[in-house]
Chain A
């Protein structure tokens, strides 16, 4: 699929975007946001903080990111994070379950993770407050600050989902190649 916009290359990178290009191709999200440097300037630190390492474990975060991306049907994020998830220790079956290729309650037995995924489903697709049973189930496993952070994580992922989907940003070929080895490419 052809990206809907031209991505900013290193030679055209605005001053505020340049640090992101110093290590080579920074990827299409930076290449898109670099068109508006003042937005890139705040968005990338935000996204990096919310999606990057925090007090919440990597596995938990990848469950949230991949599940949210699957619900939003983001080609870029589902494929990119299927690859990330595999490389951070999720099983291929778990990846498939998060993508609704098999019912996820057949794969995820841990009550804490089932409560988390139910919460993500409500936050990403719901319209009002999360229903009490879903909220209570999550609160049984996570303190308030984690509930807040997990909710922000769903929201930040949705932002990226729509950015990457709407602009048809291309998935890194290396990620797709790794997924193909396990027949895990999505879409």
Chain B
């Protein structure tokens, strides 16, 4: 095995490599880390870049892929690309689930046999509370999309982002009742704090963090490689570079080795104090 494969096998490096497929989005969420919106520069990674780096990730010894954005499904050829990625390594794609019309679902259907899971954001059990954070009709679209994806055979995870570290107990229980009713088991429900970066820098309850607080998951963007998917955030149109590992991304070997060097240079211990995943 190589150095990276050993580090992944030993738990020194997380096994997942994240790709920011694009930065633009059809929503303008209040806490968006990347300040995404319809007019954001797209800063895309092409399908060929994604597939090439996925192959490199597998060869190095990484074990999983993640695709995030922006809203990844705004990129027209994403389903085909996801099929190629999930044929290389198990893949999770993060989405706001607002674009799952009949045509997109039909394109995704053949991929259900692959190790491809879909992580969907849902922040509150009440439409008005959720939609205030994430935009009009968001709740209804998510409630519509999740059972359809589950019905196609996809593993669907629900990610709930809340100010502060805790969700109100009653709301939490109602949200769990809701996701169970949609076909998503408790193990596939993540609750995480709003991180004080990007558009959330001024959000009450948002949590500041240092690199030691977040898992060092190699994260590839059009602007470089980062320590974590919480790294390449945008504020006032400027990309944050405090968690930048290298500008070079391809071949993946260099940022992977630099990340490992950085990880080994810090005290060993639990990799994520506040459990931001």
The interface of chain A, by Cβ under 8 A from chain B, is 8, 11-16, 34-39, 41
Whether B248 lies near A38 (C-beta < 8 A) is: yes
Whether A12 lies near B262 (C-beta < 8 A) is: no
> Does residue B242 face the partner (Cβ distance < 8 Å to A)?
yes
Sampled A-B contacts (5; CB under 8 Å)? A14-B244, A15-B227, A15-B242, A15-B245, A37-B258
Q: Could you give, for residues 240-272 of chain B, a 1 whenever the CB lies within 8 Å of some chain A CB and a 0 otherwise? A: 111111111000001000100010000000000
Whether A14 lies near B241 (C-beta < 8 A) is: yes
Secondary structure at chain A's binding surface: helix, strand, loop or mixed? helix
> Does residue B37 face the partner (Cβ distance < 8 Å to A)?
no
CA distance A8 to B242 in the complex (A): 10
Please indicate the chain B residues that have their CB under 8 angstroms from the CB of A12 in the complex. 240-242
On whether A14 and B248 interact (CB within 8 A), knowing A38-B254, A41-B258, the answer reads no
Report how many residues on chain B are interfacial, defined by Cβ distance under 8 Å: 14
The interface of chain B, by Cβ under 8 A from chain A, is 211, 227, 240-248, 254, 258, 262
CA distance A36 to B246 in the complex (A): 7
CA distance A15 to B240 in the complex (A): 12
Whether A16 lies near B241 (C-beta < 8 A) is: no
Task: Say how far B115's CB is from chain A's closest CB, in angstroms.
Answer: 31
CA distance A36 to B211 in the complex (A): 19
Whether A14 lies near B258 (C-beta < 8 A) is: no
CA distance A53 to B29 in the complex (A): 54
Whether A37 lies near B244 (C-beta < 8 A) is: yes
Task: Say how far B247's CB is from chain A's closest CB, in angstroms.
Answer: 5
CA distance A38 to B247 in the complex (A): 7
Whether B254 lies near A14 (C-beta < 8 A) is: no
Please indicate the chain B residues that have their CB under 8 angstroms from the CB of A36 in the complex. 246-247
Which residue in A8, A15, A41 is a CB contact (below 8 Å) of B211? A15
Whether A37 lies near B242 (C-beta < 8 A) is: no
CA distance A14 to B262 in the complex (A): 11
Question: Told that A15-B242, A36-B247 touch, could you supply 13 new A-B pairs with CB distance under 8 A?
Answer: A12-B240, A14-B241, A15-B227, A15-B244, A15-B262, A16-B245, A16-B246, A37-B245, A37-B258, A38-B246, A38-B248, A38-B254, A39-B247
Whether B227 lies near A37 (C-beta < 8 A) is: no
Task: Across the interface, name the chain B residue whose C-beta is closest to A15.
Answer: B262
Whether A11 lies near B242 (C-beta < 8 A) is: yes
Please indicate the chain A residues that have their CB under 8 angstroms from the CB of B254 in the complex. 38
Task: Say how far A10's CB is from chain B's closest CB, in angstroms.
Answer: 9
Whether B247 lies near A37 (C-beta < 8 A) is: yes
Whether B242 lies near A16 (C-beta < 8 A) is: no
CA distance A183 to B258 in the complex (A): 46
Task: Say how far A37's CB is from chain B's closest CB, in angstroms.
Answer: 6
Please indicate the chain B residues that have their CB under 8 angstroms from the CB of A39 in the complex. 247
Task: Say how far B86's CB is from chain A's closest CB, in angstroms.
Answer: 30
